[in-house]
Amino acid sequence: MFNKEKLTKNYGAIVMIGLVGTLISSILNFFMAGTSSSNHPFIYLLLTLASFVVTFFFAVFIETVAIHAYRNDDAITMDNFKAAFEHVNWGTALKINFIASFLIAIGLLLFVIPGIYLSLAFSFIGFLLYDEKGHSNLIKRSMELTDGYKLKILLGGIVISILTGAVSSIFGLFIKEPALIRTLASLVTLLAQPIYINYILDIYIEAYDQTVVE
């Protein structure tokens, strides 16, 4: 299930992209915390929307850069950033991710298990935005490609979640400051992100390339 070379491919570059996204989100959240939703509703709404867009942009951008580097058999560089960015239709990406996130949220709120199922079914959307940007229904396409792979995706996610949770818990044994614990937990998650993305990418390549051959 786990191949060290594949899981750590472009590790540093993916961490750096995630770090930039985290810093921007943190800045926006800082301003949101200091803005009253009742006294400044318009500003608060703009900050909320900006935070939403930044979160989705970096989530998709990381996966896009990863698949671009794989398809071109190259390491992630600044040229890859530019090429990957220009390859994706970002209006479509935002719309599809909004719909997918909305469906997952509804599933989690109402029955939990359907939400988890949809989260697994939509795991390939970020990569498909690169490989099949002209496809009319990438949500359906992702659901088709994840058929037979959802358990594998789930197990990988569980293993990585357990490991990151265990590391964060160890910090909690020695550190009593809640804010510092949260910061370190976020750092652990950030460092684990490339491993999970590469894990999902490896499954996606297997599933996608089979359909191309067929």
pLDDT at 119: 95
Q: With beta carbons less than 8 A apart as the criterion, state whether 130 and 87 touch.
A: yes
Domain of residue 195: give its range. 4-213
Structural domain tally of the chain? 1
Long-range Cβ contact pairs of 84-89 (< 8 A, separation 24 or more):
84/130, 85/61, 87/130, 87/133, 88/60, 88/64, 88/129, 88/130, 88/133, 89/129, 89/133
Cα gap 8→201, rounded to integer Å: 12
Quick one: how far is CA 208 from the chain centroid? 19
Residue burial 126-158, b: 16+ Cβ < 10 Å; e: rest: bbbbbbeeeeeebbebbbebbeebbebbeebbe
pLDDT tens, the chain, 214 aa long? 557 788 888 898 899 999 999 899 888 888 887 776 677 788 888 888 888 889 889 988 999 989 988 888 777 777 778 888 888 888 888 889 889 999 999 999 988 899 999 999 999 999 999 998 877 789 999 999 999 999 999 999 999 999 888 988 888 888 888 878 888 888 898 999 999 999 999 999 999 988 765 5
